[in-house]
């Protein structure tokens, strides 16, 4: 008897009238039992043809019993079996334990693990449920990781396609031009040199942009304090020399805080924006480039405006796409603005453009001011 | 080591020192592309590398760091992922510690490939228990001490936990803690 009590702390001992003689110490935490079994429990399984009599229960004693505590808000169910105590034949024992359907059940029922016998697999079910929840959490995380990687792979694939296209078309043109030049008779050769040189310079610019693009993917964010005024002056002077122009710069910086960001990316963004502004401004005699900057503790607003050729409205949506060119005569490689957008995204900033054909273009950027 | 242990290292470092510090530690430990999932096993050397590199990069004593990882494991990771389990094992620290050996034995059933530590609890008196810890993994006493300290906080206990002995027995590293309430 003592052994049964230890092995089944939720036991219920019944006499031939199904009056409760005794019950386990753990069962007492679910309910104080007195009187008749039928007043406290109902049969869930078996249910058909079973009656609340000693003989009926004995008849079904080769089956698993599922009992439910009556009048309990949690509808606590117990799983177990009935044992006829053979040496006396006048009492039966229910040996089982509460069935846990969720992790919280054990706490809702006011139980602790020590209320269950060590061998009881109810506790293992409880632990298994916790592990299953964690596995589900893992699966959700894995799906999200895979979806993220898939998106990134698709993007890389599209870019590779564009690069292959560029290599077969853009890279081949200057190559063929150079081959053609070398095959010309000497007097004709010299007259063609400036055009071929221009094509080769364009090719070099394309390679520089592709390198910037590749570095944007690989180089980690490195935040330092930046002197935007000095950086812009330096870049501006360089490109005036490269393009052989003298376009006035209006630089206006309103700063209430130092600006911290990634030097490599900010330099590349400014390089591309300033070189574009100068490249398309040089045709006009009253050309100018205006750069306005507002720096706060949170972010930096930067705009680069020119009164150059402007961009056709129908092309504005596409100018940030890789290898987009408004026309075959376009001077650009079709990569510079794409590089700018990718770098701005990397810095978690935004970029927009407004333009009017023949009037000019303004690029507006917002870049978070990083903490050093 | 189980993923949740590495999650504790990741969580604490990001919370206290930021994502950049964590990324730097991952690069140094050669696991920059690794995600730590709850129910996956990772090599022990990876966990040791993360702890050692964190100590070097953050310039914090390794033992102090391991202690904090242990506390964080209980108070954040286990509190979030095993809360009902922690509360169902017992209502106070002593009841909980008495169940530690059983808990670790059961865990082995779900993960036949993991080697959790083994515990033995001796109740010396109603206010004093001896907790024996055995593990094949070396150098984790500060991590285990941190876990016990975290449990003390979790169960709002004012007990004292003292490391009484440590040593080796065969391939096992063993530690004896005394818990006085």
The answer to whether position B39 is within a domain reads yes
In total, the C-beta contacts within 8 angstroms joining chain A to chain B are 56
> Closest Cα to residue A300, out of A261, A271, A336, A331?
A261
Pull the structure tokens for residue B155. Answer: 């169960």
The answer to whether position B125 is within a domain reads yes
How large is the average pLDDT for residues A317-344? 81
Fold type of domain A2-119: Beta-Lactamase (3.30.450)
B97 and B168 part of one domain: yes
List pLDDT tens digits, range A45-90.
Answer: 999 999 999 999 999 999 999 999 999 998 999 999 999 987 677 9
Give the model's confidence band at A207: pLDDT under 50 very low, under 70 low, under 90 confident, else very high: confident
State whether ipTM is beyond 0.90. no
- CB within 8 Å: B88 and A112: yes
pLDDT at A328 exceeding the cut of 60: no
Within 10 Å of residue B130's Cβ, how many Cβ atoms?
16
Tell me the nearest-neighbour CA distance from B94 into chain A, angstroms.
13
The answer to whether position B133 is within a domain reads yes
Split into its structural domains, chain B has a count of: 2
Q: How far is CA B56 from CA B69, B138, B142, in A?
A: 15, 19, 17
B55 and B99 part of one domain: no
> Closest Cα to residue B78, out of B179, B7, B152?
B7
Q: Which domain holds residue B54?
A: 3-60
The answer to whether position B70 is within a domain reads no
Q: What is the pLDDT of residue A335?
A: 84
How large is the average pLDDT for residues A192-206? 83
**Last residue within a domain, chosen from B60, B83, B106:** B60
Question: Residue B112 is part of a domain; what is its CATH number?
Answer: 3.90.1520.10
The share of chain A scoring above pLDDT 90, in percent, equals 54
- Parallel, antiparallel, or unpaired: how do β-strands A289-295 and A249-255 relate? parallel
- Inter-residue contact A251 to A229 (CB < 8 Å): yes
**Does B110 touch chain A if contact means CB atoms closer than 8 Å?**
yes
Fold type of domain A219-372: Heat Shock Protein 90 (3.30.565)
The answer to whether position B40 is within a domain reads yes
How large is the average pLDDT for residues B88-112? 86
List pLDDT tens digits, range A145-168.
Answer: 999 999 999 988 988 887 787 777
Cα–Cα distance measured from residue B31 to residue B23, given in angstroms and rounded to the nearest whole number: 9
In this prediction the pTM is: 0.68
Where would I find the beta strands (DSSP E) of chain A?
12-15, 20-23, 41-45, 65-69, 77-84, 91-98, 223-226, 249-255, 259-262, 289-295, 299-306, 350-356, 360-368
- Parallel, antiparallel, or unpaired: how do β-strands B160-169 and A223-226 relate? unpaired
Cα–Cα distance measured from residue B57 to residue B70, given in angstroms and rounded to the nearest whole number: 19
B96 and B47 part of one domain: no
Tell me the nearest-neighbour CA distance from B105 into chain A, angstroms.
11
- CB within 8 Å: B85 and A114: no
- CB within 8 Å: B89 and A112: yes
Count of alpha carbons within 13 Å of B132, Cβ hemisphere only?
13
Cα–Cα distance measured from residue A128 to residue A144, given in angstroms and rounded to the nearest whole number: 24
B104 and B175 part of one domain: yes
């Amino acid at each position: 008897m003592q052994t049964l009590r230890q092995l089944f702390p939720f036991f219920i001992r019944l006499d031939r009238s199904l009056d409760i003689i005794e019950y386990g110490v753990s069962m007492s935490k679910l309910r104080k039992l007195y009187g008749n079994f039928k007043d406290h429990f109902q049969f869930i399984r078996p249910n058909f043809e079973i009656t609340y009599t000693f003989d009926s229960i004995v008849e079904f004693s080769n089956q698993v019993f599922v009992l439910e505590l009556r009048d309990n808000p949690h509808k606590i169910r117990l799983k177990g079996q009935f044992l006829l105590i053979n040496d006396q034949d006048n009492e039966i024992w229910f040996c089982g334990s509460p069935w846990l359907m969720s992790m919280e059940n054990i706490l809702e029922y006011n139980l602790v693990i020590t209320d269950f016998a060590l061998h009881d697999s109810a506790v293992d079910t409880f632990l298994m449920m916790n592990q299953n929840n964690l596995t589900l959490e893992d699966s959700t995380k894995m799906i999200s990781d895979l979806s993220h990687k898939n998106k990134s792979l698709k993007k890389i694939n599209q870019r590779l396609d564009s690069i292959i296209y560029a290599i077969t078309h853009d890279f081949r043109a200057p190559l063929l031009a150079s081959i053609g030049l070398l095959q010309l008779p000497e007097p004709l050769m010299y007259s063609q040199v400036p055009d071929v040189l221009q094509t080769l310079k364009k090719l070099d610019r394309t390679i520089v942009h592709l390198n910037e693009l590749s570095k944007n993917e690989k180089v980690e964010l490195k935040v330092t304090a930046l002197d935007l005024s000095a950086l812009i002056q330096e870049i501006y002077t360089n490109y005036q020399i490269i393009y052989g122009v003298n376009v006035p710069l209006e630089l206006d910086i309103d700063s209430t805080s130092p600006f911290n960001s990634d030097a490599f990316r900010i330099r590349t963004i400014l390089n591309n924006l300033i070189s574009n502004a100068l490249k398309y401004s040089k045709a006009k005699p009253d050309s100018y480039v205006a750069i306005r900057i507002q720096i706060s503790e949170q972010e930096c607003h930067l705009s680069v405006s020119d009164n150059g050729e402007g961009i056709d409205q129908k092309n504005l949506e596409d100018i940030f796409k890789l290898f987009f060119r408004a026309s075959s005569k376009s001077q650009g490689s079709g990569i510079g603005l794409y590089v700018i957008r990718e770098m701005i995204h990397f810095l978690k900033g935004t970029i927009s453009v407004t333009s009017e054909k023949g009037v000019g273009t303004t690029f507006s950027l917002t870049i978070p001011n990083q903490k050093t | 080591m189980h993923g949740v242990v590495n999650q504790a290292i990741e969580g604490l470092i990001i919370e206290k020192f930021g994502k950049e510090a964590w990324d730097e530690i991952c690069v140094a430990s050669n696991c920059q592309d690794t995600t730590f999932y709850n129910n996956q096993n990772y090599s022990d050397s990876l966990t040791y590398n993360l702890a050692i590199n964190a100590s070097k990069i953050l310039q914090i004593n390794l033992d102090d760091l391991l202690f904090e990882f242990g506390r964080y494991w209980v108070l954040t990771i286990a509190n979030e992922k095993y809360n009902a389990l922690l509360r169902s094992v017992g209502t106070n620290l002593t009841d909980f510690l008495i169940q530690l050996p059983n808990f670790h034995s059961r865990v082995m059933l779900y993960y036949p490939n993991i080697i959790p530590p083994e515990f033995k609890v001796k109740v010396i008196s109603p206010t004093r228990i001896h907790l024996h810890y055995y593990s094949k993994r070396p150098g984790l006493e500060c991590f285990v001490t941190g876990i016990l300290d975290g449990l003390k906080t979790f169960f709002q206990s004012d007990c004292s936990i003292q490391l009484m002995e440590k040593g080796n027995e065969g391939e096992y590293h063993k530690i004896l803690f005394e818990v006085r309430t």
